[in-house]
Amino acid sequence: MDLSSLPTPCALVDEARVAHNIERMAAQMRRLGVALRPHVKTAKSLPVAERQRAAGARGITVSTLKEAEQFFAAGFDDILYAVGIVPGKLAQVRALRERGCKLKVIVDSLPAAQAVAAAGHPFEVLIEIDTDDHRAGVKPEEARLLDIGRALHEGGAVLAGVMTHAGASYELHDPEALAAMAEQERARCVRAAERLRAAGLPCPIVSVGSTPTALSARRLDGVTEVRAGVYVFHDLVMLNVGVCNADEIALSVLATVIGHQDEKGWVLTDAGWMAMSRDRGTQAQPVDYGYGAVCDEAGRLIDGLVMSGANQEHGIVGWRDGHVDATLAQRFPLGTRLRILPNHACATAAQFPHYEVIGRDGALTRWERFGGW
Amino acid sequence: MDLSSLPTPCALVDEARVAHNIERMAAQMRRLGVALRPHVKTAKSLPVAERQRAAGARGITVSTLKEAEQFFAAGFDDILYAVGIVPGKLAQVRALRERGCKLKVIVDSLPAAQAVAAAGHPFEVLIEIDTDDHRAGVKPEEARLLDIGRALHEGGAVLAGVMTHAGASYELHDPEALAAMAEQERARCVRAAERLRAAGLPCPIVSVGSTPTALSARRLDGVTEVRAGVYVFHDLVMLNVGVCNADEIALSVLATVIGHQDEKGWVLTDAGWMAMSRDRGTQAQPVDYGYGAVCDEAGRLIDGLVMSGANQEHGIVGWRDGHVDATLAQRFPLGTRLRILPNHACATAAQFPHYEVIGRDGALTRWERFGGW
């Protein structure tokens, strides 16, 4: 493996780790007996989604209509747009559907359901369920769940099911608590489906998921599919949550040492927040890695060394415990290359137009990705 | 002005405010009798840099070699790359220079100076001075300042001058403290220049700057040029610092209301952290705006309403004081459009491939921007 041809900063992906992460999640889904509909918002990259499909994934989840457009153009036709739909976006959804894309949308309110049902096209719609009091969704016991279901089913829409995302799982770091959150996500979403069915409404799809709950679930009775995204790359937040090991983190940023401030124990690099993103997701977790954990160029973690600060194109590297080590300048002289593991792979990946991929044989290839809306 | 044709989220730029901000800075530079070398890292957009040039700017500052390549291709040939150079990047710098680009680089250590001087090309080099104990640079009184100067001048390089950036000014919010920081930045950088000259070394350029110090400086004796970037758009960090008013913030993100959580007083929008960035620059400032300050679609600030939380494609809007207001759902129903002012314009702008520009006549145009390295 020779990374010397790569300009810095750049986003490095370890193909063997991606393959391992995909197979690990696929095996977990086989064990649980459910389909996997991976969320492609993490990598936004066709070669990644193709590997997920090859490992058995059925359909994909997207966070923007641009992702739907891009992946449909590349042959993915079973797509769930997992952000609440608004009337102003229905024309684009309809155009995609009329071109053959089985694009499904979600709603969590009566006004949204009524707008979709009245839009003159049999949109496939899932009702978003709030199973963890975290963000959006209808609580499973709320009366309006049935009102929304009826507005869709008795209006002009196709009530395709229910979906939920237990984002609160990111705040946990205990295996038992994670398993309990996975069970809560499952039970409450299934409960919503049962209420709809008891009211005579259809509910074929029961879709749940997040990387932490997907990897922590012990049973998923009543669930038809799981959505998860960040598991393809994993990151330091997932390491803190406890659902991956450091050697499963497949994304890093290659950086070059550009200077030192010896009296502060600082090594300065050319990977600032523009490269890492401003995500400080480990700040409130058991281990705060600053803007990232530091590895040598070969990817070996240097225990205790972190990216403690960032400006736009400057990163500051030092010991996590803050002690001043003037020998860092000798250890990592000007021009030394380091790899920084990200707090949040979705945010860091989004800073780059493509990935420099280290193949299983050590050869470098490139995977394109896209951004924007 | 009709923004209904714009998809959300998108980055909106108010052209009249950009023009005002450019003229305000240009007038300040004329008053101080120094040249302005704007930092193009904020907008990374040719139409913005062209307006700065038309207002009298001489040369530009860049934070990446990609910016140098892009702006040189568009006719800007006097460029300062204001991040410490490393040997691995000299070939690209040299290639640009041999194509006619007067690209200058910076160093802040003897190893870097020696590497540049020995590279077989008369690179123009500025020595970075640390005037605020903030990031990189040589302190003006350090002995090694002269060693670095000699290594450049007596090696094969052109010692073009000194430069500094008082990034610590971002942490201030008192006019007197800001003026004092501007004077410190000036005095210490000029002192470094005087030491070099007293040692018989050339130092034609004395380059200082940051938006807060540029707008707060009362005199700049001995300085030849000022660098500043974020002033073209301004943002909530600059509002808190006290160097702009809210109606000078020229960048906002147009968002659509996608749902509500009434019992929490939340309005959910389709502008999450992917649109705003994860920058929480106002967190430690006098007013913490969360992920941004909320305006109506016409751009009128709604006092006290902020973007309090963010997921990738979900924004949470509520009152800054945290009180639960269930009437927000009636006031901002599904489909309502809002504008969010950013904490940090450089970070938010970087999330978008282009700007939707509201012209002086209210008509919409588009300015492209680029990212990456």
Say what the ipTM of the complex is.
0.97
* Closest residue in B to A268 (Cα–Cα): B136
A1-29 average pLDDT score: 96
Percent of chain B with pLDDT over 90: 99
Question: Looking at residue B326, what is its pLDDT?
Answer: 86
Please report whether residue A194 resides in a domain: yes
Confidence of residue B1 (pLDDT cuts 50, 70, 90): confident
Query: CA–CA separation, B266 vs B272, rounded Å?
Result: 14
Is residue A153 domain-shared with residue A287, that is, in the same domain?
A: no
Condensed to tens digits (0 to 9), the pLDDT of residues B69-119 reads: 999 999 999 999 999 999 999 999 999 999 999 999 999 999 999 999 999
| Lowest-confidence segment of A160-164, A322-326, B196-200 by average pLDDT | A322-326
pLDDT of A299 reads 97
| Averaged pLDDT for residues B348-360 | 98
Are B31 and B150 part of one and the same domain?
yes
User: Measured between CB atoms, which of B64, B87, B268 is closest to A136?
Assistant: B268
Mark whether A217 and A257 lie in a shared domain.
no
Residues of chain A with pLDDT > 90, as a percent, come to: 99
Q: Residue B346 domain-assigned?
A: yes
Question: In chain A, what residues touch B261 (CB-CB under 8 Å)?
Answer: 130, 135-136
Do B254 and B228 lie in one domain? The reply is no
The answer on B219 and B289 residing in a single domain is no
Distance in angstroms (rounded) separating the CA atoms of residues A109 and A129: 10
User: Does B270 lie in the same domain as B214?
Assistant: no
pLDDT at A1 over 80: no
Tokens of A355: 């990935």
A72 — pLDDT class (breaks 50, 70, 90): very high
Assess whether B76 and B174 both reside in one domain.
Answer: yes
Q: What is the mean pLDDT of residues A59-67?
A: 98
Q: Are A178 and A252 in the same domain?
A: no
Q: What is the mean pLDDT of chain B?
A: 97
Residue B1 lies inside a defined structural domain of this protein: no
> B368 pLDDT band (50/70/90 cuts)?
very high
Q: Give pTM, 2 decimals.
A: 0.97
Let me know whether A317 and A227 are in one domain: no
Residues of B in contact with A10 (CB under 8 A): 373
The interaxial angle of helices B144-154 and B175-198, nearest 10 deg, is 50
Residues B258, B187 within the same domain: no
Q: Look up the domain containing A85 and give its range.
A: 15-232
Q: Is residue A241 part of a domain?
A: no
Segment B310-326 shows an average pLDDT of: 96
B350 and A136 in contact by Cβ < 8 A? no
Which of A259, A279, A344 minimises the CB distance to B109? A259
B195 and B276 co-located in one domain: no
Q: Which two tokens stand for residue A122?
A: 């049999």
Among A232, A255, A289, give the residue marking a domain's end.
Answer: A232
Nearest Cβ partner for B333 among A84, A111, A260: A111
> CATH no. for residue A345?
2.40.37.20
| Residue in A with minimal Cα distance to B317 | A135
Q: pLDDT of B243-298, one tens digit each?
A: 999 999 999 999 999 999 999 999 999 999 999 999 999 999 999 999 999 999 99
pLDDT at A146 > cutoff 80: yes
A350 interaction partners in chain B (CB closer than 8 Å)? 274, 351
**Average pLDDT rounded to a whole number, residues A338-342:** 98
- Inter-chain residue contact B350 with A274, CB threshold 8 Å: yes
Average pLDDT score over residue span B149-166: 97
Distance from CA of B178 to the nearest CA of A (A): 20
Phi-psi category of residue B126: left, alpha or beta, with phi > 0 → left and psi -120 to 50 → alpha: beta
A51 and A171 share one domain: yes
Residue B221, both tokens = 């004796």
Within 13 Å, how many C-alpha atoms sit on residue A185's CB side? 34
Question: Is B10 a domain residue?
Answer: no
pLDDT of residue A104: 98
Report the relative pairing of strands A10-14 and A354-358 from DSSP bridges.
parallel
The answer to whether residue A373 is domain-embedded is no
Interface touch B268/A135, C-beta < 8 Å: yes
Q: Please indicate, yes or no, if residue A303 is contained in any of the structural domains.
A: yes
- Token digits for B334? 């599904």
pLDDT band per the 50, 70, 90 thresholds, residue A244: very high
Residue A33 has pLDDT above 80, yes or no: yes
**pLDDT confidence of residue A326:** 86
Task: Give CA–CA dist A325/A329, Å, rounded.
Answer: 9
Final residue before a domain boundary, out of A204, A232, A260: A232
Amino acid A343: pLDDT: 98
Q: Domain of A82: which CATH number?
A: 3.20.20.10
The model's pLDDT over A91-118, given as tens digits with 9 standing for 90+, comes to 999 999 999 999 999 999 999 999 999 9
Closest chain B residue to A313 measured between Cα atoms? B63
Final residue in a domain of this structure, among A208, A232, A256: A232
Q: Which residues of A268-298 are buried (b: 16+ CB within 10 A; e: fewer)?
A: bbbbbbbbbbbbbbbeebeebbbbbbbbebe
Q: So what's the pLDDT on residue A197?
A: 98
Over residues A350-361, mean pLDDT:
97
Could you tell me if residue A130 is inside a domain?
Answer: yes
- For chain B, the domain total comes to 2
